[in-house]
Every structure is written in structure tokens, then in C-alpha cells.
Amino acid sequence: MVTLREIARECKVSVATVSKALNDMNDVSPETKEAIKTTARRMGYYPNSSARALKTNRTYNIGVLFVDESNSGLTHDYFANVLDSFKRSVEKKGYDLTFINSTHNRDMTYLEHSRYRGVDGVVIACVDFDDPQVLELVRYDAIPVVTIDHVFDYRIAVMSDNIQGMHDLVEYAYSKGHRRMAYISGDDTAVTRNRVGSFVRSLEKHYIDTPEEYLISSAYRNPELAYKYTRQLLQLMDSPTCIFYPDDYSAIGGINAIRDIGLSVPDNISVVGYDGSYISQIMSPRLTTLRQDTVKIGSVAAEKLIHLIENPRTTLIQRFVMNGELVAGESVADIN
């Protein structure tokens, strides 16, 4: 490993001068600076991140907290895409990504792990936001944090506009003539509450009351449950003409239930998904869904987190709400 010391010996200057030259400090003459830089390049030098971190308390490393009870966020389509975009963005600015976890040897909490690794900041998504360990990390204000799809006071949040998104979907179905709409929603989270609220209010604007049996609390990414609840809805005497699902995967489960009963999508029953995942547009019929802008969410989260890291005091704590985009698809029939 080639160190500053070796470059110093080669250039016949001190280690301090080499360091300053490579960091472009201005108390090194242009000539020596240039000479040092070229020999550094020639010798294949790159800094030792541990040594630098030890001295500067900056690692250029960002922690990623992405845990799901069942799967980790990695296998979660939506979050994997957000993370992918996030990763791309931070890498452009010279930061690396390290996963934060708590199932460590000597068991550390998320906060301890973050401090152990000395990450400059943490992005949190796809977790149980009531987890005491998450709260501990969020409340520890020496580490910059952005959360995705959840709002904490005094923390930057980046989120999808679930209220507008659901509104758009309801308006679309309404415009196609649907009046009896049911919503099989996800687990009880902030995101879910926003969507359910928006669903009900959007219908109320059209003077449509949503009967209790049209609002079913299910789970995200659980086609089996969606299947079950879809059958349940279809057995109502006054069954809906259009069913909304928490995500595209659940919608597929619903479609299976509809077909197994002998009905067709969208001819007999219309279906609305959420997320706009890749699969939703290659399946048939193409799903009517709301594409969340994962690229934007990831890149804005990255940008804001890095800004917070590099300008700790001047950065405003805000929420950033990203618009999604309605994807018309073919799963909602025009029954006008």
C-alpha cells in the first residue's frame, strides 16, 4: 500500500506537504503541488479511508436502514428501486453505502452500529417506524437522517404523494363511470392511512359514501390475502364494480380470485393497483395503477441527506412530496 510517507520520500518533501498538496490546500506552491500530484498518480496512490476517517470523523459512508420483518427491503420491488436510485445519486458525490443492521455479533442497536461504523448519515425506509431502535436513531441528532415515506418531527422526509395519487386513481375510475368502489388496503401505517383517507374523501366529493364492507384492511404484497378478501367482496349482494389494491402484487392476487369465480377483468370487474411496478405493465391486462417515482424519491433523498451532512446547521428540515403518475393500463373498464 502506497502511503503519504512514500510519496514524501520520493518527492523529498514532508508528509504534511504531500497531504496538503493532494487536498489542494493553498499553502503549497503550484509547482510542488503539481509534482506531488503526478508522482502520487504514478505510484498509484489512493487514501486510506480508515486513517482519514479516524482523523476527520468523516467517512463518506452513508448508512442504509432497510429492514422488513419478513424480507429485507432488498426484495421489495418498490424500495429496491428507491435504494437503487439513492445509491446511484450518492455515488456520484463520492459517498458509499453500508447497510445498518442490529443482528450483529455483540448485539448493537441501529444507533450503536451507525456510530460504530461512523456513517456520515443514514437513510431510513421500509422499517417499522415504531421500533424503539428506530426511534433511538431518529432522536439522536448528531447523525443526519432522512426518512422515506414517513414523517418525524425535526427530520427530513421524502415521500410519495399518496393523497394525490389515490385521488387521481379514484377520479380516473369515477370518470370511467364507476360508482361502487372498494378498497382493500395495506397494513396500518402512515402511508395506508393517507391513502384510505384520500380514497374516502375523493369519493365524498362526488357525494358517494363508502360502505364499511367496502373498506378492508389487508396487507402489502400479500396476494393470498388479497385473493381471499376479493372473493369476500364479490359475494356481497351489492358488490363493487371496481376494486382498489394496496399494490400491484395484491392486485394480481385479486385478479386471480376474479378469474377463479369465472369473471373477467376488466369486463366484469375493474381492478386498480398501486406502485406501477415493472410487472404491472407486462402482465395482461396491463394494470391501471399509480407509478411512484422511485427514481425521484431516491435522488431527492440522496441530495437532501448529503446537503444536510455538508451543511448541518443551514439545511432546512422539510418534507418533500413527490408526485406519482397515473398509468392508465387496461384493467379499468369504461362503463359509462
Contact partner, 75, from DNA, its own copies, none, Cβ < 5-8 Å per class = its own copies
Annotate each residue in 186-225 with x if it binds its own copies (CB under 8 A) or - if it does not, as one string. Answer: -------------------------------------x--
Least distance between its own copies and beta carbon 175 (Å):
27
DSSP 74: G
Q: Report the residue from 38, 43, 54, 318 that binds DNA according to the rule CB under 7 A.
A: 54
Q: Report the residue from 20, 33, 87, 167 that binds its own copies according to the rule CB under 8 A.
A: 87
Least distance between its own copies and beta carbon 113 (Å):
8
Annotate each residue in 38-57 with x if it binds its own copies (CB under 8 A) or - if it does not, as one string. Answer: ------x-xxxxxx-xx---
Rounded Cα–Cα distance for residues 300 and 294 (Å):
10
Place of cell 441527506: 305
* Closest listed residue to residue 40, CA positions, set 19, 62, 63: 19
Rule CB under 8 A: is residue 256 a binding residue for its own copies? yes
Rule CB under 7 A: is residue 51 a binding residue for DNA? yes
Helix 15-22 / helix 30-43 crossing angle, nearest 10 deg: 90
Rule CB under 7 A: is residue 4 a binding residue for DNA? yes
Rule CB under 8 A: is residue 116 a binding residue for its own copies? yes
Rg of the chain's alpha carbons, rounded to an integer?
26
Contact partner, 72, from DNA, its own copies, none, Cβ < 5-8 Å per class = its own copies
Distance of CA 151 to the CA centre of its chain: 13
Rounded Cα–Cα distance for residues 46 and 158 (Å):
35
Rule CB under 8 A: is residue 69 a binding residue for its own copies? no
Rule CB under 8 A: is residue 30 a binding residue for its own copies? no
Contact in structure between 247 and 221 (CB atoms under 8 Å):
yes
Rule CB under 7 A: is residue 16 a binding residue for DNA? yes
Rule CB under 8 A: is residue 265 a binding residue for its own copies? no
Q: Report the residue from 24, 27, 69, 107 that binds DNA according to the rule CB under 7 A.
A: 27
DSSP 176: T
Helix intervals (H) in the chain: 4-11, 15-22, 30-43, 49-56, 77-92, 110-117, 132-139, 162-175, 190-204, 223-234, 248-260, 278-282, 294-310
Least distance between DNA and beta carbon 94 (Å):
13
* Closest listed residue to residue 114, CA positions, set 129, 97, 128: 97
* Closest listed residue to residue 119, CA positions, set 127, 107, 111: 111
| SS3 at position 198 | helix
Rule CB under 8 A: is residue 96 a binding residue for its own copies? yes
Strand (E) or helix (H) holding 287: none
Positions in the binding site for its own copies (CB under 8 A)? 1, 44, 46-51, 53-54, 59, 61, 71-72, 74-75, 77, 80-81, 83-84, 87-88, 91-94, 96-99, 101, 103-106, 108, 112, 115-118, 223, 249, 252-253, 255-256, 259, 278-279, 282-284
Instruction: Enumerate binding residues for DNA (CB under 7 A).
Output: 1, 3-5, 12-17, 19-20, 22-23, 27-33, 45, 47-48, 51-52, 54-56
